[in-house]
Amino acid sequence: MRALMGADLRVVVLDDLSAGRAGRLPPTVPLIRADVRDRMTVRDAIIRYHVSGVIHLAALKDVAASYEDPLGYHRANLDTLADLLEVLVDLRTPHLVFSSTAAVYGTADSYAEDAPTRPSSPYGRTKLAGEWLIGDVGAATGLNHAILRFFNVAGAGAPALADTGGDNLLPRLLRAAVEGGKATVHGTGHPTPDGSCVRDYVHPSDIAGAHVAAVRALEAGGLTADTLNVSRGVGVSVLELIAAVERATGQPLPYVVGEPRPGDPPTAVADPARIRDRLGWRAQRSLDDIVGSAWAATAAQLRIARQRRPHDVATTL
């Protein structure tokens, strides 16, 4: 939202606030509190605000939870997309930017956009099916669309924008540092240089910049249907991420080795050449920028919490 406004684009937000926080929006940005499955409210918002394009970010994304509730994940991630597409087609809303995921690749030899897609989790399969649905609707109706496959988003765009995703690795590591506990590394026997899983981490501000670039390209007519990786193209292992947390916090972070998680590929590092060539976008933030920004946001939250509940907040730092 901040990046779009910084590019002089008008923004309307529709969110059920199951994970979002209304206080993160300035009063100049309209907030419609609703579920994306509420087709009448979505329809009314598009008409009322003369919406020319939708950025669809609403989804469930916990890989482990998707094994436990595959029906819920299909309903949340695929059925709701079908509802949204029906509204967009009916109102002839011309543009869609869809947030997809590296999980569509599964365990792969290559993570370029034209590589085979073999998602290993129900979550990944819902997102791949969503990509197929958008492609079919676009071919049939002329809906212009950009599918952005995020790799591991980590960090904070500002101190007030801390990651609240409890299952994400970096917040879990920082929480362990704050609480004085031990981090858990899910397996150190993977076929990687240090045995821990390797991922491609990208800063939220870079992700936001990719959305701005996609919106601009759709508006200008230079993009009609494309799938693009959004990543740094740099692999970082879990143990390397722990070392970066130690640099940011200035203290050691001990860890224990747990069992590998189902559906976790040993390595997932993108090839971001296509988005660079077609949209002129490339990630700007380093690993230390990512971890440092997350730590700054966590520290800001701690300061606020201590002011409110000085006796209930961990003081190990």
Residue 226: strand pairing partners: 146
Sequence-ordered alpha helix ranges (H) in the chain: 2-6, 39-48, 63-68, 70-74, 80-91, 122-141, 169-179, 204-220, 238-249, 273-279, 287-308
Q: Which residues contact 275 (CB under 8 A, 6 or more apart)?
A: 210, 213, 228, 229, 230, 281, 282
Q: How far apart are CA 163 and CA 159, in angstroms?
A: 10
Please spell the DSSP secondary structure of 7-20, one letter per residue.
Answer: TT----EEE--SS-
β 31-33/255-258 pair status: unpaired
Q: Encode 242-254: b = buried (16+ Cβ within 10 Å), e = exposed.
A: bbbbeebbeeebe
Q: How far apart are CA 16 and CA 25, in angstroms?
A: 14
283's tokens:
């990630």
Q: Is residue 123 among the annotated active site residues? A: yes
Point out the catalytic residue in the list 73, 105, 111, 123.
Answer: 123
Question: In Å, what is the CA distance from 295 to each residue of 59, 167, 172, 176, 291?
Answer: 26, 16, 12, 12, 6
Q: Which residues are catalytic?
A: 123
